[in-house]
Amino acid sequence: MKTEGIERVLGLVRQEMGCADARLEIGGQPPEPPEAVYVSVPGGWRLVAVFDAPPEDRTRMEHRLKQLATAFFEAGISLPAPSADAEMRLAQRRLDDELAALAGRTSALGANVIDMQSPVLWGCSESRHTGEDLESFLVTAEVDSAARAHGVDLAVVGGLGEADRATTLDELSGELRRRAERLVGRLSDRPLRSRRNYLLHAQVLSDVRRWIQRLNGEESSVRRLVHLESYGYFARSFAGIYVLVLYFPGPFSELHVEGTALHYLPVIERHVLGLPPIDPSPPGGKVVQMPLPR
Protein backbone atom coordinates (compact mmCIF):
# COMPACT_ATOMS: atom_id res chain seq x y z
CA MET A 1 0.00 0.00 0.00
CA LYS A 2 1.19 3.52 -0.74
CA THR A 3 2.07 5.49 2.36
CA GLU A 4 1.13 8.92 1.01
CA GLY A 5 -2.46 8.54 2.19
CA ILE A 6 -1.38 7.60 5.70
CA GLU A 7 1.05 10.53 5.84
CA ARG A 8 -1.75 12.89 4.80
CA VAL A 9 -4.05 11.50 7.49
CA LEU A 10 -1.34 11.78 10.16
CA GLY A 11 -0.89 15.40 9.11
CA LEU A 12 -4.62 15.96 9.62
CA VAL A 13 -4.40 14.32 13.05
CA ARG A 14 -1.57 16.69 14.04
CA GLN A 15 -3.62 19.63 12.79
CA GLU A 16 -6.83 18.63 14.58
CA MET A 17 -5.21 17.51 17.84
CA GLY A 18 -2.72 20.37 18.01
CA CYS A 19 -0.01 17.86 18.87
CA ALA A 20 3.70 17.92 18.06
CA ASP A 21 3.68 14.54 16.29
CA ALA A 22 1.36 11.71 15.23
CA ARG A 23 2.28 8.17 14.23
CA LEU A 24 0.98 4.66 13.65
CA GLU A 25 2.65 1.78 15.48
CA ILE A 26 2.12 -1.95 15.99
CA GLY A 27 3.36 -4.42 18.56
CA GLY A 28 5.27 -3.86 21.77
CA GLN A 29 3.95 -2.02 24.78
CA PRO A 30 1.72 1.06 24.46
CA PRO A 31 3.55 4.37 24.89
CA GLU A 32 4.08 5.29 28.55
CA PRO A 33 5.15 8.99 28.45
CA PRO A 34 2.40 11.28 29.79
CA GLU A 35 2.81 13.43 26.66
CA ALA A 36 1.46 10.56 24.49
CA VAL A 37 -2.22 9.76 23.88
CA TYR A 38 -3.17 6.67 21.86
CA VAL A 39 -6.17 4.67 20.60
CA SER A 40 -6.53 1.37 18.72
CA VAL A 41 -7.23 1.29 14.98
CA PRO A 42 -8.08 -1.69 12.69
CA GLY A 43 -5.50 -4.45 12.28
CA GLY A 44 -4.04 -4.20 15.78
CA TRP A 45 -2.38 -0.84 15.16
CA ARG A 46 -2.23 2.15 17.49
CA LEU A 47 -2.73 5.77 16.49
CA VAL A 48 -0.53 7.89 18.74
CA ALA A 49 -0.57 11.66 19.28
CA VAL A 50 2.43 13.14 21.05
CA PHE A 51 2.22 16.55 22.72
CA ASP A 52 4.95 18.90 23.91
CA ALA A 53 3.54 18.59 27.43
CA PRO A 54 1.04 16.24 29.11
CA PRO A 55 -2.48 17.29 28.03
CA GLU A 56 -4.53 18.93 30.76
CA ASP A 57 -7.72 17.07 29.80
CA ARG A 58 -6.46 13.65 28.81
CA THR A 59 -9.93 12.10 28.62
CA ARG A 60 -11.09 14.72 26.13
CA MET A 61 -7.96 14.23 24.02
CA GLU A 62 -8.46 10.46 23.98
CA HIS A 63 -12.09 10.92 22.94
CA ARG A 64 -11.11 13.32 20.17
CA LEU A 65 -8.37 11.00 18.89
CA LYS A 66 -10.84 8.09 18.87
CA GLN A 67 -13.27 10.18 16.79
CA LEU A 68 -10.51 10.93 14.28
CA ALA A 69 -9.43 7.29 14.13
CA THR A 70 -13.02 6.22 13.41
CA ALA A 71 -13.39 8.83 10.70
CA PHE A 72 -10.03 8.28 9.03
CA PHE A 73 -9.29 4.57 9.04
CA GLU A 74 -11.05 1.54 7.57
CA ALA A 75 -10.40 -2.09 8.42
CA GLY A 76 -7.45 -3.56 6.56
CA ILE A 77 -5.56 -6.86 6.55
CA SER A 78 -2.03 -5.78 7.41
CA LEU A 79 -2.09 -1.99 7.48
CA PRO A 80 -5.03 0.28 8.35
CA ALA A 81 -6.27 1.83 5.13
CA PRO A 82 -7.00 5.55 5.19
CA SER A 83 -10.62 6.20 4.35
CA ALA A 84 -10.89 7.56 0.80
CA ASP A 85 -13.10 10.39 2.06
CA ALA A 86 -11.12 11.13 5.22
CA GLU A 87 -10.81 14.86 4.56
CA MET A 88 -14.50 15.15 3.69
CA ARG A 89 -15.40 13.35 6.93
CA LEU A 90 -13.22 15.75 8.86
CA ALA A 91 -14.93 18.76 7.25
CA GLN A 92 -18.33 17.22 8.02
CA ARG A 93 -17.39 16.57 11.64
CA ARG A 94 -16.21 20.15 12.09
CA LEU A 95 -19.59 21.42 10.88
CA ASP A 96 -21.57 18.93 12.99
CA ASP A 97 -19.52 19.80 16.08
CA GLU A 98 -20.21 23.51 15.55
CA LEU A 99 -23.95 22.80 15.20
CA ALA A 100 -23.88 20.70 18.38
CA ALA A 101 -22.21 23.59 20.23
CA LEU A 102 -24.87 25.99 18.95
CA ALA A 103 -27.66 23.62 20.00
CA GLY A 104 -26.12 23.40 23.46
CA ARG A 105 -25.82 27.18 23.83
CA THR A 106 -29.47 27.72 22.85
CA SER A 107 -30.93 24.67 24.69
CA ALA A 108 -32.20 23.38 21.34
CA LEU A 109 -32.94 19.70 20.79
CA GLY A 110 -30.88 19.90 17.63
CA ALA A 111 -29.48 22.04 14.83
CA ASN A 112 -29.39 21.28 11.11
CA VAL A 113 -28.28 22.84 7.86
CA ILE A 114 -30.40 22.07 4.79
CA ASP A 115 -30.76 23.92 1.49
CA MET A 116 -33.54 25.19 -0.74
CA GLN A 117 -32.89 22.88 -3.67
CA SER A 118 -31.99 19.32 -2.64
CA PRO A 119 -32.57 16.51 -0.12
CA VAL A 120 -29.05 16.81 1.30
CA LEU A 121 -28.73 17.15 5.07
CA TRP A 122 -25.53 19.21 5.04
CA GLY A 123 -25.07 19.48 8.77
CA CYS A 124 -26.61 17.72 11.77
CA SER A 125 -25.84 18.18 15.47
CA GLU A 126 -27.32 14.76 16.30
CA SER A 127 -25.77 11.37 15.53
CA ARG A 128 -26.21 10.48 11.87
CA HIS A 129 -27.76 7.17 10.88
CA THR A 130 -27.13 5.34 7.62
CA GLY A 131 -29.51 6.34 4.84
CA GLU A 132 -30.89 9.41 6.60
CA ASP A 133 -31.32 12.56 4.56
CA LEU A 134 -33.94 15.26 4.28
CA GLU A 135 -36.19 13.04 2.14
CA SER A 136 -36.20 10.28 4.75
CA PHE A 137 -37.23 12.80 7.42
CA LEU A 138 -40.04 14.08 5.20
CA VAL A 139 -41.34 10.53 4.77
CA THR A 140 -41.11 10.00 8.54
CA ALA A 141 -43.12 13.17 9.17
CA GLU A 142 -45.80 12.08 6.70
CA VAL A 143 -46.18 8.64 8.29
CA ASP A 144 -46.13 10.08 11.82
CA SER A 145 -48.82 12.67 11.00
CA ALA A 146 -51.05 10.07 9.35
CA ALA A 147 -50.66 7.68 12.30
CA ARG A 148 -51.50 10.40 14.83
CA ALA A 149 -54.61 11.24 12.81
CA HIS A 150 -55.68 7.65 13.59
CA GLY A 151 -54.82 8.03 17.29
CA VAL A 152 -51.54 6.05 17.08
CA ASP A 153 -48.43 7.43 18.79
CA LEU A 154 -45.51 5.80 16.97
CA ALA A 155 -43.02 6.92 19.63
CA VAL A 156 -44.93 4.85 22.20
CA VAL A 157 -45.51 1.96 19.79
CA GLY A 158 -41.75 1.68 19.26
CA GLY A 159 -41.32 0.61 22.89
CA LEU A 160 -43.99 -2.10 22.87
CA GLY A 161 -43.42 -5.82 22.59
CA GLU A 162 -43.99 -7.44 19.21
CA ALA A 163 -47.54 -8.65 19.95
CA ASP A 164 -48.71 -5.35 21.49
CA ARG A 165 -47.09 -3.41 18.67
CA ALA A 166 -48.95 -5.43 16.05
CA THR A 167 -52.25 -4.96 17.89
CA THR A 168 -51.79 -1.19 18.15
CA LEU A 169 -50.83 -0.88 14.48
CA ASP A 170 -54.06 -2.68 13.55
CA GLU A 171 -55.60 0.80 13.79
CA LEU A 172 -53.79 1.52 10.51
CA SER A 173 -54.21 -0.28 7.23
CA GLY A 174 -52.70 -0.81 3.80
CA GLU A 175 -49.58 1.10 2.82
CA LEU A 176 -49.74 3.31 5.92
CA ARG A 177 -49.57 0.21 8.14
CA ARG A 178 -46.55 -1.13 6.23
CA ARG A 179 -44.72 2.20 6.33
CA ALA A 180 -45.47 2.61 10.04
CA GLU A 181 -44.09 -0.87 10.74
CA ARG A 182 -40.86 -0.03 8.95
CA LEU A 183 -40.51 3.26 10.82
CA VAL A 184 -41.24 1.73 14.22
CA GLY A 185 -38.75 -1.05 13.46
CA ARG A 186 -36.01 1.54 12.90
CA LEU A 187 -36.86 3.34 16.14
CA SER A 188 -37.45 0.37 18.43
CA ASP A 189 -33.89 0.20 19.76
CA ARG A 190 -33.97 3.83 20.95
CA PRO A 191 -35.34 5.08 24.29
CA LEU A 192 -38.72 6.83 24.34
CA ARG A 193 -37.23 10.31 24.60
CA SER A 194 -35.01 9.67 21.59
CA ARG A 195 -37.97 8.34 19.58
CA ARG A 196 -40.05 11.43 20.41
CA ASN A 197 -37.19 13.77 19.51
CA TYR A 198 -36.66 11.98 16.21
CA LEU A 199 -40.32 12.34 15.22
CA LEU A 200 -40.34 15.98 16.33
CA HIS A 201 -37.18 16.56 14.28
CA ALA A 202 -38.93 15.12 11.24
CA GLN A 203 -42.02 17.31 11.75
CA VAL A 204 -39.87 20.46 12.00
CA LEU A 205 -37.89 19.69 8.84
CA SER A 206 -41.12 18.91 7.00
CA ASP A 207 -42.63 22.23 8.08
CA VAL A 208 -39.49 24.14 7.08
CA ARG A 209 -39.43 22.43 3.67
CA ARG A 210 -43.09 23.31 3.01
CA TRP A 211 -42.36 26.92 4.00
CA ILE A 212 -39.39 27.08 1.62
CA GLN A 213 -41.46 25.64 -1.20
CA ARG A 214 -44.20 28.22 -0.64
CA LEU A 215 -41.62 30.98 -1.02
CA ASN A 216 -40.83 29.59 -4.48
CA GLY A 217 -37.46 31.37 -4.58
CA GLU A 218 -39.08 34.80 -4.40
CA GLU A 219 -37.02 35.93 -1.39
CA SER A 220 -33.23 35.93 -1.29
CA SER A 221 -33.08 36.06 2.51
CA VAL A 222 -35.55 34.20 4.70
CA ARG A 223 -36.20 33.97 8.43
CA ARG A 224 -38.89 32.09 10.36
CA LEU A 225 -39.77 31.72 14.04
CA VAL A 226 -42.46 29.22 15.06
CA HIS A 227 -43.93 28.64 18.53
CA LEU A 228 -46.34 25.73 19.01
CA GLU A 229 -47.33 23.76 22.10
CA SER A 230 -45.58 20.63 20.87
CA TYR A 231 -42.50 22.24 19.33
CA GLY A 232 -40.87 25.43 18.13
CA TYR A 233 -38.10 26.30 15.70
CA PHE A 234 -35.92 29.05 14.33
CA ALA A 235 -34.88 29.00 10.67
CA ARG A 236 -32.66 31.46 8.85
CA SER A 237 -31.10 31.39 5.39
CA PHE A 238 -27.45 32.11 4.63
CA ALA A 239 -25.03 31.99 1.69
CA GLY A 240 -27.87 32.16 -0.81
CA ILE A 241 -29.31 28.63 -0.70
CA TYR A 242 -28.68 27.23 2.80
CA VAL A 243 -30.97 27.29 5.84
CA LEU A 244 -29.96 26.91 9.47
CA VAL A 245 -32.68 25.21 11.54
CA LEU A 246 -32.78 25.06 15.36
CA TYR A 247 -35.67 23.15 16.91
CA PHE A 248 -37.07 23.02 20.44
CA PRO A 249 -39.62 20.93 22.43
CA GLY A 250 -41.80 24.02 22.85
CA PRO A 251 -41.62 27.84 23.05
CA PHE A 252 -38.15 29.40 23.31
CA SER A 253 -36.48 32.78 23.81
CA GLU A 254 -36.39 34.39 20.37
CA LEU A 255 -33.90 37.08 21.38
CA HIS A 256 -31.43 34.63 22.91
CA VAL A 257 -31.70 32.05 20.11
CA GLU A 258 -31.40 34.50 17.24
CA GLY A 259 -28.54 36.42 18.87
CA THR A 260 -26.57 33.23 19.54
CA ALA A 261 -27.30 31.85 16.05
CA LEU A 262 -26.05 35.04 14.39
CA HIS A 263 -22.87 34.79 16.45
CA TYR A 264 -22.24 31.22 15.23
CA LEU A 265 -23.43 31.70 11.65
CA PRO A 266 -20.15 32.99 10.10
CA VAL A 267 -18.28 29.90 11.34
CA ILE A 268 -21.08 27.56 10.26
CA GLU A 269 -21.15 29.21 6.82
CA ARG A 270 -17.40 28.77 6.44
CA HIS A 271 -17.65 25.06 7.29
CA VAL A 272 -20.60 24.52 4.93
CA LEU A 273 -18.84 26.20 2.03
CA GLY A 274 -15.78 24.08 2.77
CA LEU A 275 -17.71 20.86 2.11
CA PRO A 276 -17.27 19.24 -1.32
CA PRO A 277 -20.14 19.64 -3.82
CA ILE A 278 -22.70 16.84 -3.83
CA ASP A 279 -24.98 15.82 -6.69
CA PRO A 280 -27.88 14.11 -4.87
CA SER A 281 -30.23 11.88 -6.82
CA PRO A 282 -33.81 12.51 -5.68
CA PRO A 283 -36.71 10.23 -6.66
CA GLY A 284 -37.05 9.97 -10.42
CA GLY A 285 -33.32 9.99 -11.06
CA LYS A 286 -33.08 13.74 -11.57
CA VAL A 287 -29.68 15.11 -10.62
CA VAL A 288 -29.72 18.39 -8.75
CA GLN A 289 -26.64 20.48 -9.40
CA MET A 290 -25.40 22.33 -6.32
CA PRO A 291 -23.69 25.62 -7.24
CA LEU A 292 -21.91 26.33 -3.98
CA PRO A 293 -21.24 30.01 -3.31
CA ARG A 294 -17.56 30.82 -2.72
Share the mean pLDDT of the chain. Answer: 84
Q: What angle do CA 192, 195, 198 make, to 5 degrees?
A: 150
pTM confidence score: 0.67
Look at residue 42 and tell me whether its pLDDT is greater than 90: no
Question: For the chain, how big is the Rg over CA atoms in Å?
Answer: 22
- For residues 28 and 144, state if they share a domain: no
Q: What is the pLDDT of residues 177-201, one digit of tens each?
A: 999 999 999 888 889 999 999 999 9
pLDDT number for residue 134: 87
- For residues 32 and 133, state if they share a domain: no
When pLDDT is averaged across residues 96-104 and rounded to a whole number, the result is 93
- Residue 286: inside a domain: no
- For residues 66 and 105, state if they share a domain: no
- For residues 100 and 231, state if they share a domain: yes
- For residues 217 and 238, state if they share a domain: yes
- For residues 103 and 160, state if they share a domain: yes
- For residues 114 and 218, state if they share a domain: yes
Q: What is the pLDDT of residues 208-255, one digit of tens each?
A: 999 888 887 666 678 899 999 889 999 999 988 899 999 999 889 999
Cα 276 from Cα 294, distance rounded (Å)? 12
Lowest mean pLDDT among 18-32, 109-123, 148-162, 217-231: 217-231
**What secondary structure letter does DSSP report for 78?**
S
Cα 38 from Cα 61, distance rounded (Å)? 9
Q: Which domain holds residue 52?
A: 4-84
Helix 174-187 and helix 134-149, axial crossing angle in degrees, nearest 10: 120
How many domains is the chain built from? 2
- For residues 61 and 185, state if they share a domain: no
**What secondary structure letter does DSSP report for 14?**
H
- For residues 62 and 127, state if they share a domain: no
- For residues 71 and 112, state if they share a domain: no
pLDDT band, very low/low/confident/very high, at 28 (cuts 50, 70, 90): confident
- Residue 280: inside a domain: no
- For residues 110 and 178, state if they share a domain: yes
pLDDT number for residue 206: 94
Look at residue 4 and tell me whether its pLDDT is greater than 70: no
- For residues 67 and 101, state if they share a domain: no
CA distances (Å), 244 to each of 110, 119, 272, 276, in order?
11, 14, 11, 18
When pLDDT is averaged across residues 72-99 and rounded to a whole number, the result is 68
